């Protein structure tokens, strides 16, 4: 009964491919996020959704397209993968009115 | 937007010693300052947080101090143990509305040697 679960845990793919990462939370939270952690461990916000609406988009290339079918799910689709996209992608959730973030276990993306 | 600076990037201490990690932030509207611990290969997890109306908060061996005037806050770990070895991130946020996200510092890799 993991609170924030994301799949897959590992993703190895070739440059130019399109891939998706899925995230689901069972905490009843109304806000979900995608963070990117690069090889130097820097955690950077990419997107934030509140009740299925995009709230934050931090100058992420439009090859990245988040989709939130409902407030418990936030998926990330990446087109035309590049070497620089290699990183660990963390999904997270929180409840409006409470800043505490609950992170998923991360997806390690390797673009070859 | 908010810019959070964190120092040092690496810290090595002997077991039993204290460790201090410092952060500064740029946006005076920030009012929430959490600290996250990330063990190797794991997810970041909240260990302690402080709000702008409080100057200090303590939880067993961990304490956080905040100086709003100087826009800096610090994490103090006393009586360090090998299991404290991890990457620690500070963060700052303007609040809990959905329009604000946590902006993280670049992390401090703490190594506690027996």
Residue A81 — pLDDT band, cuts 50, 70, 90? very high
Q: Tell whether A14 lies on the interface with B, counting CB pairs under 8 A.
A: no
User: Each residue of A18-69: pLDDT tens digit?
Assistant: 999 999 999 999 999 999 999 988 999 998 888 878 887 787 899 999 999 9
Predicted local confidence at residue B52, as pLDDT: 87
A vs B: CB pairs below 8 A: 59
What pLDDT score was predicted for residue A57?
79
Mark yes or no for CB contact B97/A96 under 8 Å: yes
**Chain A residues within an 8 Å CB radius of B95:** 99
Interface test with A, best of B8, B98, B106 (most A CBs within 10 A): B98
A59 at interface of B, judged by CB pairs closer than 8 A: no
Query: For residue B32, which residues of chain A lie inside 8 Å, CB to CB?
Result: 99
pLDDT digits (tens), chain B, 114 positions: 778 999 999 999 999 999 999 999 999 889 999 999 999 999 999 999 999 888 999 999 999 999 999 999 999 999 999 999 999 999 998 876 656 788 899 999 999 999
Percent above pLDDT 70 for chain B: 96
Beta bridge partners of A47: A34, A57
Cβ neighbors of B5 (< 8 A, separation 6 or more) are B23, B24, B25, B105, B106
**Helix (H), strand (E), coil (C) string for B17-28:** CCEEEEEEECCC
Q: How many helices (H) and strands (E) does chain A have?
A: 0, 11
Give the mean pLDDT of chain B: 93
User: What is the phi-psi region of residue B37: left when phi exceeds 0, alpha when psi lies from -120 to 50, beta otherwise?
Assistant: beta
Whether the link from the prior residue into A43 is cis, omega within 30° of 0, is: no
Rounded distance between C-alpha atoms, residue A75 and residue A43, angstroms: 18
Contact A100 B103 (CB under 8 A): no
Q: Which two tokens stand for residue A79?
A: 């087109």
């Amino acid at each position: 009964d993991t609170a924030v679960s994301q799949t897959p845990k590992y993703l190895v793919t070739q440059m130019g491919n399109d891939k998706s990462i899925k995230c689901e939370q069972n905490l009843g939270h109304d806000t979900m996020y995608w963070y990117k952690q690069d090889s130097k461990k820097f955690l950077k916000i990419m997107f934030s959704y509140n009740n299925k609406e995009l709230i934050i988009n931090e100058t992420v290339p439009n090859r990245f397209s988040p989709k939130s079918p409902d407030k418990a799910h936030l998926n990330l689709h990446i087109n035309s993968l590049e070497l620089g996209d290699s990183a660990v992608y963390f999904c997270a959730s929180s409840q409006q009115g409470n800043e505490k973030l609950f992170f998923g276990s991360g997806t390690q993306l390797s673009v070859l | 937007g908010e810019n959070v600076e964190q120092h040092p990037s690496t810290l090595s201490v002997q077991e039993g010693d204290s460790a201090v990690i410092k952060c500064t932030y740029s946006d005076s509207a920030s009012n929430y300052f959490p600290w996250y611990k990330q063990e190797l290969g794991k997810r970041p997890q909240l260990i302690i947080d402080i709000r702008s109306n409080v100057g200090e908060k303590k939880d067993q061996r961990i304490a956080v101090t905040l100086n709003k005037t100087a826009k800096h806050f610090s994490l103090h770990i006393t009586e360090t143990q090998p299991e404290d070895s991890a990457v620690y991130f500070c963060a700052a946020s303007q609040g809990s509305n959905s329009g604000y996200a946590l902006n993280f510092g670049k992390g401090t890799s703490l190594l506690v040697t027996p």
